[in-house]
Amino acid sequence: MTEDAFKLTSPDGATTLDLPVRKGTLEPNVIDIGRLYRDAGVFTYDPGFVATGSCASDITFIDGEKGVLMYRGYPVEQLAAQSNFIEVAYLLLYGDLPSKIELEEFDTSITRHTMLNEGMLSFFKGFRYDAHPMAMLSAVVGSMSAYYHDTMDINNPDVRNVFAHRILAKLPTIAAAALKLNMGQPFVYPRNDLNYCENLLHMFFAVPAEPYEISPIAAEALDLLFILHADHEQNCSTSTVRMAGSSGANPYSAIAAGISALWGPAHGGANEAVLRMLKEIGDKKNIAKYVEKAKDKSDPFRLMGFGHRVYKNFDPRATIIREMCHKVLKQLGRTDSPLFELALELEQVALKDDYFIEKNLYPNVDFYSGIIYRALGIPTSLFTVMFAIGRTVGWVAHWQEMITDPSGRISRPRQLYTGPAQRDYVEVSKRG
Ligand code: CMC
């Protein structure tokens, strides 16, 4: 990070500050305002962190205007076409693509950590049969801090490494346990002869009564979706993980906090909301009515799966997922999927609408992912869990980066206070 200076002059012209401009590998640069309060007595004000960089990071780069997304410098399009999720996970965690041996060792380690402590499985007996899988996921991941607390020395790189492998490996197993509870079926143990996505499909859909055949296109589609969801720099859930972790909290708790943040419909919960919205629209003839609803400021309805804080031209992940959606539906013989037809039509109508054009609202990563999940037989309530499985590696990579940053401090934003100025306490008997 080299430095330049940004001059800031107070309204009365009496004070001028030279604020350092930090330059990243790629633009935009940032103004370092760390000394602003000390030198000028003011804070910055930026609700929603629209123009605020919360940290420096080597992990993921996004250019929202150009629709660029890169993990550790590699364009996501190349990774989606040529890599696989486990390799991408290694890249995100360790910074470079692995050698053949490193990849094999990493893959083996992830495979060997997939089983849950049997005691953890008993948590699922406490949930109601219809508990939302995201609620179960955040609760059970949070409970991992109870299993791995005394041994969790966050200053020890080996301990951090085991944490990374363990959480990445166990997320699909926890998700499968939640799904099986919802379905009223027995839990299915992981199989070490299968790869990450095959094993996930096995745990989701196999039953003890008959053999289960894993569909290669289903495994391929999941692998792609996990690559595309793996990281997205300082989004809401990742920032939550960093913030929770910045206090030195147990990292399993920090990941559970990230899962909770992801659940909201403005973030990862959008994939579930998209499918519910498409079902509600129901028919192409209703599209115009729903587009009008989305534009009506007095109506809380929004077109789910549209818009993004950072992407203002297109979401590169949506482009890739749309193609995979075609492929999956074709291979599964579901080209006549009415929901897919409806989604395509809705996309076309919205893309031609002045409101959506003016506000740069385009389909995002969540618009088509749900249609793929649905085609694979994954229930709607599990869609955001699928997002969480992919995003966990990003959360862990950011947690690692945060915890090993020598300049790292507890996250502690300030505020613009708008409450009452000082007033004196009045005894209850004397209040009017
Ligand atoms: N439908 C209708 N209007 C919208 C939509 C939408 N989906 N998204 C944004 N707008 C309007 C919004 O009303 C506002 O209008 P105005 O300037 O007149 O007040 C303008 O566009 C800017 O929206 P914003 O809410 O200020 O933008 P934001 O950057 O704070 O929010 C967003 C981004 C993704 C939360 C938002 O676009 C949204 O709610 N989209 C629907 C939910 C969704 O698909 N979320 C998934 C995001 S991608 C995956 C992920 O991050 O997890």
Question: Pick from 323, 113, 335, 72: which is nearest to 220 by CA?
Answer: 323
Question: Pick from 221, 208, 253: which is nearest to 369 by CA?
Answer: 221
pTM of the model as a whole: 0.95
Distance (angstroms) between ligand 1 centre and the Cα of 44 equals 24
In the prediction, which pLDDT does 339 show? 86
Query: Is residue 337 very low, low, confident or very high in pLDDT (cuts 50, 70, 90)?
Result: confident
Among the residue ranges 27-31, 120-124, 330-334, 349-353, the one predicted with the least confidence is 330-334
Q: What is the pLDDT of residues 352-378, one digit of tens each?
A: 999 999 999 998 889 989 989 999 999
pLDDT of 143 > 70? The answer is yes
pLDDT of 1 > 70? The answer is no
User: Ligand 1 test: best mutation among 76, 263, 295, 302, most atoms within 8 Å of CB?
Assistant: 302
Residue carrying the six token digits 């486990």: 86
In the prediction, which pLDDT does 14 show? 83
Q: Which amino acid is it at 329?
A: L
Q: Which atom of ligand 1 is nearest to the CA of 232?
A: 51
Residue 314 to residue 62: CA distance in whole angstroms: 12
Residue carrying the six token digits 């399993």: 252
Q: What is the pLDDT of residues 258-299, one digit of tens each?
A: 999 999 999 999 999 999 999 999 999 999 999 999 999 999
User: Ligand 1 test: best mutation among 233, 237, 308, most atoms within 8 Å of CB?
Assistant: 308
Q: What is the pLDDT of residues 58-77, one digit of tens each?
A: 999 999 999 999 999 999 99
Q: What is the pLDDT of residues 80-131, one digit of tens each?
A: 999 999 999 999 999 999 999 999 999 999 999 999 999 999 999 999 999 9
Contact 402, 245 (CB under 8 A): yes
Residue carrying the six token digits 């999956």: 328
Q: Beta 60-63 vs 16-22: how paired, if at all? A: unpaired
Averaged confidence pLDDT in the chain = 94
State residue 127 phi and psi, 5-degree precision: -85, 150
Intra-chain end-to-end CA distance of the chain, in Å: 60
Distance (angstroms) between ligand 1 centre and the Cα of 33 equals 28
**Is 63 in the active site?**
no
Cα dihedral value 225, 226, 228, 232, nearest 10: 140
Tokens standing for residue 54: 């919360």
In the prediction, which pLDDT does 338 show? 87
In the prediction, which pLDDT does 377 show? 94
Letter string b/e over residues 333-362, b meaning 16 or more CB atoms within 10 A of that residue's CB: eeeebebbebbbebbebbeebeebeeeebb
